[in-house]
Amino acid sequence: MKKVMTVLILSVFLCGSAYSDDLAVADNRIVSIDYTLYIDANKVVETTLGKQPLTYVQGKGQLLKTLEDGLRGMKKGQKKSIILKPEDAYGESKKDFFVKMPLEKLPEGSIKVGELLTVTGAEGKPVKCRVHKIKGDIATLDFNHPFAGKTLRYRVKVVDVKDVRF
């Protein structure tokens, strides 16, 4: 991700860009936002506050489409709450994404409910999951996205919008 951002930032300086406080968030513009993501009413799960803003290119699929849609038309300095229902974000939690597995097949160490694990998937690639339940020597692993089934509330502020000429 850092490599992509570095290339993106370099292209802005090499190709030139137009700066204007009047530019609105639109496709193919470089947008920087500060945001705080809340789930389960007011539980903060991510934030850029006190850090670097998130910078992305609008319309290139770098954010959830529904989040990009909510940002469209905003201008530098504007703030907004954007609420995404599960079907507009990571979908509903799927029952068939819960898998029972013997504890002996999991990474060594003390396995706890709620713990995030990386296991080897069917194609031999690492896959992340969460320990949902442990009963005896069997663990139920949840392979759903951690935000599946959750309503997401983004509190965003547009920090900058740049119109890049390529």
Average pLDDT over residues 1-6: 42
pLDDT over 80 (residue 100): yes
* Separation between Cα atoms, residue 57 and residue 30, nearest integer Å: 5
Cβ(160)–Cβ(77) below 8 Å: no
Average pLDDT over residues 106-131: 87
Kindly state the percentage of the chain with pLDDT values over 90: 71
pLDDT tens-digit series, residues 33-86? 999 999 987 899 999 999 999 999 999 999 999 999 999 999 999 999 999 999
Q: What pTM value is reported for the model?
A: 0.76
Nearest to 156 by CA among 31, 41, 9, 59: 31
- Which three-class secondary structure string do you get for the chain? CHHHHHHHHHHHHHHCEEECCCCECCCCEEEEEEEEEEECCCEEEEECCCCCCEEEECCCCCCCHHHHHHHCCCECCCEEEEEECHHHCCCCCCHHHEEEEEHHHCCCCCCCCCCEEEEECCCCCEEEEEEEEEECCEEEEECCCCCCCCCEEEEEEEEEEEEECC
Which of 2.40.10.330, 1.10.8.420, 3.40.50.1820, 3.30.2000.20 is the CATH number of 95-142?
2.40.10.330
| Domain residue ranges in the chain | 2-90+156-164, 95-142
Band the pLDDT of 13: cuts 50, 70, 90.
Answer: very low
Band the pLDDT of 165: cuts 50, 70, 90.
Answer: low
Band the pLDDT of 121: cuts 50, 70, 90.
Answer: confident
pLDDT, the chain, mean:
87
Query: And the tokens for 59?
Result: 């319309």
Domain pair 2-90+156-164 / 95-142, same fold:
no
Residues with Cβ within 8 Å of 131's Cβ and at least 6 positions away in sequence, in order, are: 111, 112, 113, 114, 115, 117, 139, 140, 141, 142
Q: Report pLDDT for 124.
A: 87
Which of 3.40.50.300, 3.10.50.40, 3.40.80.10, 3.40.50.11540 is the CATH number of 2-90+156-164?
3.10.50.40
